[in-house]
Amino acid sequence: MIRGVKGSLLAAVSLALFGCAATGGEAESASDKPAAAEKPVKFNKDPYPSTYRPYGGRPTAVRGVTIFDGEGGRIDNGVVLFGGGKVESVGGADIAIPADYDVIDGTGKFVTPGVIDIHSHLGDYPSPSVEAHSDGNEATSPTTPEVWSEHSVWPQDPGFSRALANGGVTALQILPGSANLMGGRSVTLKNVPSRTVQGMKFPGAPYGLKMACGENPKRVYGGKGRMPSTRMGNYAVNRATWQKAAAYKKKMDDGKAVDRDLAMETLAGVLAGEILIHNHCYRADEMALVIDMSKEFGYKVSTFHHAVESYKIADILAKEGICSAMWADWWGFKMEAYDSVNENIPLVYKAGACTIVHSDDANQIQRLNQEAAKARAAGRRMGIDVSDEVAWTWLSFNPAKALGIGDKTGSLKPGKMADVVLWNGNPFSAYTRPEKVWIDGALMFDAMDPKRRPVSDFELGQPGEGDVK
């Protein structure tokens, strides 16, 4: 989106292009010695490492619950054990519970892995939504891969705690907006209170590159009287930029010295398979063209976002191993979003393609479970029967895989992070809310305990906000 999918164009903000020349050592010339070869300069690929440390937790057992394990499995009257920040055991009522564990009776309730939102702008477009907080689009050039969304994230955004408490969201990807063809790097966060964004950064999660095709870039830059102003202009600018990036990467791979270019560093990381592509794209024909372009330059698309026409090419997406992050019924608000159907998500699932439900919105992130329920119901109405436990893969394991963190979270498997939600009823009901949320085994929210309801520093002292009686 630009400000939000339905938002207006942001005012352009001036950008001081940053980057410094870093050249190899050059030997002094001498009549009896040849000049020494330039030495390649090695750049720090992780200059802003995660400083995340899990909050303290207690060994815990939740028993008597219906479990959706996140990978399509279901256990009735089940038990979940976790301790030391990790899931230890998941199974039936016969699982032995150690004597020193806190035991929660979840009879009539449900346990799932935490919800993972693959498309969020929290922190970059925080609440309150005012111009001074609008930091998601560097709308000054059609390609800005040098910018990093984490450098705009405001950790005090009240949206983080609302997503945790109302939506059971334990991890999320923060993306730049979609004004640009290449909007910059994304960052994946653990949804925990922190003074710094690095204290939220998901350890070991790969970066993403946000790209956008279609109406937004051609409108933003065509409106400025510059290229691109058409879809063919979009692709021409993209291809020229990838061509430059391929040449930059080859020079580095050949051991030659280069002047450091932060934009090219990001794109070289994509070409090396270290940075994942997350591509805002609505129309099926454009997604197919992006796939062709990715093959031309040797990169892979992880996920098409919004993807309201994925149902038209679901077989191609399945073959290519590309995920679609979609809304249940948010479409028709502009021409490129016009030709969707409410059955988009289940049709993509039926074709065997990776299926994800995403938000792109500070309110919708609080009820992604309900969005998945709407999509599941639409599928059932047309004869695609998707079980509750399978539909939960759209909210946890599939987004985790698409973010490159599926080996760490997204499902309730022994050894994975204990990112767990206890729901007070079936999570696909509009009447159900999270009762307890654990992140790495630490109880971060408890609806039954006012002291376990995180409030951002920004909210403290605000009228009606953060008052704990």
Does 20 score more than 50 pLDDT?
no
In a domain, 95, yes or no: no
CATH code (residue 403): 3.20.20.140
pLDDT digits (tens, 9 = 90+) for 109-125: 999 999 999 999 999 99
pLDDT-based confidence at residue 1 (cuts at 50, 70, 90) = low
Is it the case that residue 311 has pLDDT exceeding 50?
yes
Q: What is the pLDDT of residues 396-450, one digit of tens each?
A: 999 999 999 999 999 999 999 999 999 999 999 999 999 999 999 999 999 999 8
168: in domain = yes
- The answer to whether residue 302 scores a pLDDT higher than 70 is yes
Average per-residue pLDDT for the chain: 91
pLDDT > 90 fraction of the chain, expressed in percent and rounded: 86
Q: What is the pLDDT of residue 414?
A: 98
In this predicted structure, what is the pLDDT of residue 191? 98
How many domains does the chain contain in total?
1
Q: Tell me whether residue 420 is in a domain.
A: no
Helix axes 231-253, 215-222, angle to 10 degrees: 100
Q: Phi then psi for 178, rounded to 5 degrees? A: -115, 30
Q: What is the pLDDT of residues 354-376, one digit of tens each?
A: 999 999 999 999 999 999 999 99
Whether the link from the prior residue into 193 is cis, omega within 30° of 0, is no
Q: Determine the average pLDDT of the residues in 242-270.
A: 96
- Whole-angstrom Cα Rg for the chain: 23
Task: Please determine, for residue 76, whether its predicted confidence score (pLDDT) is greater than 80.
Answer: yes
Percent of the chain with pLDDT over 70: 90
Whether 4 is in a domain gets the answer no
3-state SS track over the chain: CCCCCCCCCCCCCCCCCCCCCCCCCCCCCECCECCCCCCCCCCCCCCCCCCCCCCCCCCEEEEEEEEECCCCCEEEEEEEEEECCEEEEEECCCCCCCCCCEEEECCCCEEEECEEEEEECCCCCCCCCCHHHCCCCCCCCCECCCCEHHHCCCCCCHHHHHHHHHHCEEEEEECCCCCCCEEEEEEEEECCCCCCCCCCECCCCCCEEEEECCHHHHHHHHCCCCCCCCHHHHHHHHHHHHHHHHHHHHHHHCCCCCCCCHHHHHHHHHHCCCCEEEEEECCHHHHHHHHHHHHHHCCCEEEEEECCCHHHHHHHHHHHCCEEEECCCCCCCCHHHCCCCCCHHHHHHHCCCCEEECCCCCCHHHHHHHHHHHHHHHHHHCCCCCCHHHHHHHCCHHHHHHCCCCCCCCCCCCCCECCEEEECCCCCCCCCCEEEEEECCEEEEECCCHHHCCCCCCCCCCCCCCCCC
Does a structural domain hold residue 305? yes
* Model confidence at 312: pLDDT above 80: yes
The model's pLDDT over 30-52, given as tens digits with 9 standing for 90+, comes to 344 444 445 555 678 889 999 99
In-domain check, residue 122: yes
Domain enclosing residue 237, as ranges: 114-408
Please report, for residues 244, 300, 430, the alpha-carbon distance to residue 251 in angstroms, rounded to integers and kept in the order given: 11, 21, 55
Position 41 scores a pLDDT of: 56
Is 180 part of any domain?
A: yes
Model pLDDT, residue 2: 52
Tokens 């976002």 label which residue? 305
Q: Determine, yes or no, domain membership for 324.
A: yes
Q: How far apart are CA 326 and CA 117, in angstroms?
A: 11
